[in-house]
Amino acid sequence: MSSKYKDIKHIQSRIIVTKDNSKTLLIPELDETYHSTNGAITESKHIFIKEGLLYSQRKKLNVFEMGFGTGLNAFITYLTSINKNLNIDYSCIECFPLPYSLVKQLNYSSLLKATDLDLDFEKMHLAKSEELLELGNFNFTKYLNAIQEQKLPKNHFDIVYYDAFGPKVQSELWERPLLQKMWDSMKNEGVLVTYCAQGQFKRTLKEIGFHLESIPGPPGKREISRALKLS
Ligand X SMILES: C[S@@+](CC[C@H](N)C(=O)[O-])C[C@H]1O[C@@H](n2cnc3c(N)ncnc32)[C@H](O)[C@@H]1O
Instruction: Give the binding site for ligand X (CB under 6 A).
Output: 1, 34, 67, 69-70, 72-73, 93-96, 146-148, 163-165, 170
Q: What is the secondary structure of 134-195 as a DSSP string?
A: EETTEEEEEE-S-TTT----SS-EEEEEE-PSPTTT-GGGGSHHHHHHHHHHEEEEEEEEES
From the CB of 5, what's the least distance to ligand X, in Å?
6
User: Are the beta carbons of 179 and 208 closer than 8 angstroms?
Assistant: yes
| CB of 144 vs ligand X, minimal distance in Å | 9
- Closest approach, Cβ 188 to ligand X, in A, equals 25
Closer by beta carbon to ligand X, 142 or else 229 = 142
Smallest separation (angstroms) from ligand X to the CB of 40: 8
Report the residue number, 148 or 231, with the smaller CB distance to ligand X: 148
Shortest spacing between CB 231 and ligand X, in angstroms: 26
- Closer to ligand X by Cβ: residue 13 or 62: 13
Where residue 167 falls (left for φ over 0; alpha for ψ -120 to 50; beta otherwise) is alpha
Strand order in the sheet with 23-27: 14-17, 23-27, 32-33
CB 135, min distance to ligand X, A: 17
Closer of 19 and 59 to ligand X (Cβ): 19
| Between 54 and 98, CB nearer to ligand X | 98
- Cβ(58)–Cβ(89) below 8 Å: no
**Contacting residues for 23 by C-beta, under 8 A, at least 6 apart:** 15, 16, 17, 40, 105, 106, 107
How far apart (Å, rounded) are the C-alpha atoms in residues 109 and 25?
16
Whichever of 183 and 189 has its CB closer to ligand X, that residue is 183
Query: How far is residue 71's CA from residue 75's CA, in Å, rounded to a whole number?
Result: 6
